[in-house]
Structure formats: C-alpha cells, structure tokens
A and B are shown apart, each in its own frame.
Chain A
Amino acid sequence: MKFIDEFRRSDLAQAVSARIQQRSKTPARLMEFCGSHTVAIFKHGIRQMLPPTIDMTSGPGCPVCVTANTDIDKSIALAKIPGVILATFGDMLKVPGSYSSLQEAKAEGADVRVVYSTLDALAIAKENPDRKVVFLGIGFETTTPTIAASVLQAEAEGIRNFSILSQNKVCPPTIRALLDLGEIRLQGLICPGHVSAVIGSHPWDFISREYGIPCVVSGFEPLDILQGIEMLVAQIESGQSKVEIAYRRGVRPEGNRKAIEVIEQVFQPCAASWRGIGIVPGSGLKLRPRYERFDADLAFDIQPGPTREHAGCLCGEILRGVKTPADCRLFGKACTPENPVGPCMVSHEGSCSAHYLYGEDHGE
C-alpha cells in the first residue's frame, strides 16, 4: 500500500539501525508516549535493532489503559440503564472496571454495540428513534475531533436521542504531570504522530524548552520510528533539545486547524483522572454549555457505585514508566490477555499485552 510499504523497506531499516548503532554513545532512556508506537516497536522487532545504549520505555499513551476505574464503572452503569444503547469502539469492551466490564454487561443483557466510527453511532440513533444512543467518548486528540464532529452533525440533523459520555483526554498536560512527578529521567521523547497530525508539534515545545528533553514526532511505520530514534540520538549526542518532526508527510507544525477548531467549538477543558497518574487539571474534555443537551453525564442519573483497584496490579506504575510488565507478579500468571486483571493487558496497545504477545524474544 502506498505510504505504508515504502516505510517498511528492510534495506533502509537496516541502514537507519546501523546509523543509530554507530552514533549512539551516551546511554539514553527514550520514552514512546504512544501505545501504537509500543505495539509497532514490538511487532516489527525494533528493540532488537537498537544498541545497548538505548533503553526504550513505554509511556501512558493508551486511552484505554489510562481510563480510570471510576470512568469504566460509569460507562457500565450507563449501559445498564433501560432504553440505552451504548455505542463504543471495540477497544473498551473487555476492559475490567471495579467489578465488571462492558462485555459482561452485554452478556447480562445491556445493549452495547461496537462501532468503527461515530458516524455508525449516529446511524444507530437514527434507526432507533425510541431508544437513547450514547457514544462512549474515549481517545486523545486524534479521536476527539471525530467525536466533536458527530455532535455537530447530530445538532445539524436534529438527532435528539444521541449523546456523548465524554472521557476524552488531552496529552500535553499529562506529559507535564508525568515529568513533574520526577520518577523517571528521560533523555528523549517520541511524540505521538496522529495526535500531532491534529494538534501539530508546537504543543510539545515546552518539553524541550522547560525540561531539556529532545523530542521527535514520529509516524508508525518501522522506518518512521527508526528515523525518530535516529533524530533523537543526533540531538542527544550534540547536546541539543528541540522538537523535530520525523513524520512530515502527516504532521505539520501547526497541526490541522479545522480539527482543532471543531474540538474547541464543542469541548472545553476540565480535570480528568488518569490511571496511575491521578487527577490532572486541564487534561480532560467536557461538552460546552451550548452542547450540553448532548452530554450523557447531565442527561442520565448514572450511579456506578463504589470503585476499587485490583490488588497487586501494577498498571499505574507501568503507565508512568517506572515499572515494566516483568516487574508485575501478576504478569503472565494471574493476568493474561484471556483473563486480564488490568487494562494494560486488555488493550492491544497496552504495554503488558505487547510484552505478552510479542515477547522479549531476541531470536537465535
């Protein structure tokens, strides 16, 4: 496929790997913030192509993983309200909350439907005028404009039985919160490519400016990631820290103006709770008063009951990059993709799932 195959060429990948091997002298801990990067790194075997100087750490950039139990419990409670159809991306179905998951609620009779797009959720609302269709809004800045767009469309078409349970989050304040915790020292950050396709590269400027950490926005093909690492190594070895883009075909420094405008039209910032990190001011999004009739939080009396955390689960520490899946005594034993305890094992792009499925196998 065009724009995919060219960026999987093994000759070029080997060359970039050789360049990294050659140039990297300083031991460096690099974090890939984004879970899709984590999966791509494992799936293509990129860790094995890096020199021992480079230590890759996975960050909290998986919207499923960072959703707090209170929020998952809320979506389950909402799905159980009679007359509600809860439409969700497939990612959320199996995530365990305090006591249950959407998948279990569905088995018990709740009407939970997996959709590929908010457009599909709108179609369900139109087909079921006597039901209340709630879309479970998860995701970062990549997904948020598509959810905002569905609100605008529902308004334009007068669809009254459609609403959003917004658990959408924004990334930059959370990276700041993570760095301010001071638990990990990073020499470089691979910034999320598709979030940046929407918000641009400027929102990351503070990281290099205030924290002195080199940043590169990278795409998701193996060559994009290797090039991103190569650019970070170049910055590290020359003592620089700036924000660069290794994914220029998809990301412009200013981002996608229209998408940003649509987000800002529909949503306003609020505090949000991140698993493992806690409440981060300004990292959540809620519907603006003008669109509050699409706000499921206001439309329904949602009573999720008390929350609890799973004993022994290290998802929080893993999301902060201070522990690895191997440090968790549940990993691969009590917690597997078939029987996940924590969300990092459920989500396809969770660190635990990637470690479990693709292994730390370095071949023969």
Chain B
Amino acid sequence: MCLAIPALIQSIEGTIAQADIGGISRPVSILLTPDVNVGDYVLIHTGYAISVLDQEEAHETLKLLEEMARYEEEREIH
C-alpha cells in the first residue's frame, strides 16, 4: 500500500535533509524522524523520512538467511 525507498542522509538543515537515493538526490523532510543523523539510512515515503533504518538489524537478517541457505544446502547433500 505504501512505497518507501531507502535513502542515505547527506546533509541536514532544519527539518529538510538532502538525501541520496541510489545516485539521485532529493530534498526530503525529516520532521517525522527528528533524531536522524547524517550518514543514516532512512525509508522515504512521499518525500518524508518515515523511519530510520537499523543497519545492524539488516545485517542480522541477512546473516540469518545465509545460515538458512547453508543449512538447506547441507540438507540437500545428505
């Protein structure tokens, strides 16, 4: 129901930040994520950051999936 895209916060001025979205640049409002810092990734929806992405959790999720892949591979071998 709602498209949102990860973006890197590059600079902040008041409630407006310049965000890099995969190589394109756009001002976004950070009114809804006041604690965001330069260097953080956020989810952008209609020009607003709605959530600060937790990079550690992203890493953890991928690690879990990779473990799952290793397990599945071993299961198929045996």
Contacts and interface: CB of A to CB of B under 8 A. Distances in A.
Contact of B50 (A22, A35, A118, A259): A259
A296 to B, nearest CB: 19
Interface residues of A, number: 55
Contacts, number: 142
A12 B65 CA distance: 6
Interface stretch (A140-148, A205-213, A275-283, A302-310): A140-148
A227 B46 contact: no
Interface in A61-107: 61-63, 89
Interface string B1-41: 11111101000000000000010000001011110000001
Contacts of B5: 4
Given A119-B29, A223-B65, A62 B50 contact: no
Contact of B69 (A12, A35, A140, A349): A12
A259 B32 contact: yes
Given A18-B76, A250-B43, A1 B6 contact: yes
Interface residues of B, number: 38
Nearest to B34: A258
Interface string B42-77: 010111101101110110111001101101110110
A140 B4 CA distance: 13
B1 to A, nearest CB: 5
A249 B6 CA distance: 11
Interface string A216-254: 000010010001001000000000000000101111100
Contacts of B75: 22
B1 A197 contact: no
B1 A63 contact: yes
Given A4-B22, A120-B47, A143-B2, 10 more contacts: A3-B6, A6-B62, A16-B68, A34-B2, A36-B3, A89-B46, A149-B31, A249-B61, A250-B54, A259-B50
Interface of A: 1-4, 6-7, 11-12, 14-16, 18-19, 22, 34-36, 61-63, 89, 116-120, 139-140, 142-143, 145-146, 149, 152-153, 192, 194-195, 197-198, 220, 223, 227, 230, 246, 248-252, 256, 258-259, 262, 349
7 contacts: A12-B68, A198-B51, A220-B4, A223-B65, A248-B54, A249-B57, A256-B33
